[in-house]
């Protein structure tokens, strides 16, 4: 289906579970996807669907009690499934850049930005303090922060939310990572700043040729900023398709329902559609399709066993998918 040569990250059968805790089902369940150089994969799903745990599993930053199993985890041709803690730290520091929803949680409130940025750069580059300072200045300029020298002397709380996220981006790309993982990077920002930040991510991605994993619950943003889309539900991949094809005609009833929930101009006086039932806050372990209890097309077979995935370029985990367009 995809050109293996351009795959920067290959993930096959990634599962995250909490084995010591009875009653907690599998929040990420045999998930497979690939990231390609210079391209963006949007990982889309409702709250609790397993998006952040997926990112944490890739980074080796799982919460206490969680266990990861994976059949294949390869970064730029290198097996990274079994690494020592030291190598894993280096991987996070150099090869994988990260941006999260709340930049304040990732920045040290009591240290000036310059110190934090230069320390992060020197850790793996071996650069001198002067060279690291120059690098930090250049990166702040690259993320559209003018007067870089002044801001290097400031503390995180002195910056606006948008500026903090720019600083996080600068720090994420400081070692020219192969992939950028952005977990809801703009959810806390107003819509204008959100657009600026997402455009900036696109620009950095082009400049550095990074593959990006863009985690969002916002399908409209996924439409605009991704090349491929993966719909996650209760830890399962329900649909996986090139973004343009997905929006021409999603094939999983859940994806269709998600799209129908997006408010559009001109429809504002009508009640917005909603999906009946709730996404499982803690998905129940069932042998069938996790969406079956809420699905209008479900039949008894859907509950009995997990359906086989259909399609090649446009994949759907559904026994009764919508017709392709
Ligand atoms: N430390 C933990 N212990 C037990 N269960 C957890 C833990 N962290 C996450 N989970 C469970 O795993 C599931 C997936 O969580 P995750 O944080 O990946 O969701 P998410 O898709 O990122 O949601 P959101 O959009 O709200 O950020 C949830 O059902 C959550 O309750
Ligand atoms: Mg999350």
Q: Is the CB of 18 under 6 A from ligand 1?
A: yes
User: Could you tell which of 31, 52, 232 is best to mutate to test the pocket of ligand 1, judged by most ligand atoms within 8 Å of the CB?
Assistant: 52
Mean pLDDT of all residues in 216-244: 96
Residue 181 · residue 201 · CB < 8 Å = no
Ligand nearest to the CA of 62: 1
Domains for the chain: give ranges and CATH numbers.
4-110+155-317 (3.40.50.300)
pLDDT the model gives residue 280: 61
- H or E element that contains 301: helix 300-304
pLDDT the model gives residue 275: 66
Higher per-residue confidence, 16 vs 283: 16
Percent of the chain's residues with pLDDT above 90:
73
- Give the integer Cα–Cα distance in Å for 88 and 78: 13
Percent of the chain's residues with pLDDT above 70:
91
Beta bridge partners of 75: 9, 78
pLDDT the model gives residue 106: 83
For ligand 1, the distance from its centroid to the CA atom of residue 84, given in whole angstroms, is 25
For ligand 2, the distance from its centroid to the CA atom of residue 44, given in whole angstroms, is 10
Question: Which residue puts its alpha carbon closest to atom 24 of ligand 1?
Answer: 47
Q: Is the CB of 50 under 6 A from ligand 1?
A: yes
For ligand 1, the distance from its centroid to the CA atom of residue 52, given in whole angstroms, is 7
For ligand 1, the distance from its centroid to the CA atom of residue 50, given in whole angstroms, is 6
Q: For 175-198, give the DSSP string.
A: T--SEEEEESTTTTS-HHHHHHHH
Mean pLDDT of all residues in 125-143: 93
Question: Which residue puts its alpha carbon closest to atom 26 of ligand 1?
Answer: 47
Q: What is the value of pTM for the model shown?
A: 0.92
Which pLDDT tens digit goes with each residue over 256-297? 999 988 766 555 544 445 666 666 655 556 789 999 999 999
């Amino acid at each position: 289906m995809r050109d293996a040569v351009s795959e920067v990250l290959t993930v096959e059968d990634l599962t995250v579970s909490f084995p010591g805790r009875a009653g907690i089902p599998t929040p990420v369940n045999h998930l497979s996807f690939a990231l390609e150089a210079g391209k963006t994969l949007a990982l889309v799903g409702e709250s609790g669907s397993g998006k952040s745990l997926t990112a944490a599993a890739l980074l080796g930053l799982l919460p206490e009690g969680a266990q990861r199993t994976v059949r294949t985890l390869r970064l730029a041709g290198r097996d990274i499934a079994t690494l020592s803690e030291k190598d894993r730290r280096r991987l996070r520091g150099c090869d994988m850049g990260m941006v999260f929803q709340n930049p304040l949680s990732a920045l040290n409130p009591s240290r000036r930005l310059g110190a934090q940025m230069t320390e992060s750069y020197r850790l793996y580059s071996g650069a001198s303090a002067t060279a690291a300072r120059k690098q930090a200045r250049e990166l702040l300029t690259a993320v559209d922060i003018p007067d870089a020298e002044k801001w290097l002397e400031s503390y995180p709380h002195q910056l606006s939310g948008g500026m903090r996220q720019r600083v996080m981006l600068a720090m994420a790309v400081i070692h020219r990572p192969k992939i950028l993982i952005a977990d809801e990077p703009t959810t806390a920002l107003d819509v204008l700043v959100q657009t600026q930040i997402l455009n900036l991510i696109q620009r950095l991605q082009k400049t550095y040729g990074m593959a990006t994993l863009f985690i969002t619950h916002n399908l409209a943003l996924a439409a605009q900023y991704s090349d491929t889309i993966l719909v996650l539900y209760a830890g399962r991949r329900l649909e996986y398709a090139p973004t343009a094809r997905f929006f021409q005609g999603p094939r999983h009833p859940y994806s269709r329902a998600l799209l129908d929930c997006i408010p559009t101009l001109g429809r504002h006086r009508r009640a917005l559609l909603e999906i009946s039932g709730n996404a499982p806050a803690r998905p129940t372990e069932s042998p069938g399709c996790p969406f079956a209890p809420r699905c209008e097309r479900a039949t008894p077979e859907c509950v009995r066993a997990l359906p086989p995935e259909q399609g090649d370029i446009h994949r759907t985990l559904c026994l009764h998918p919508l017709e392709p367009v």
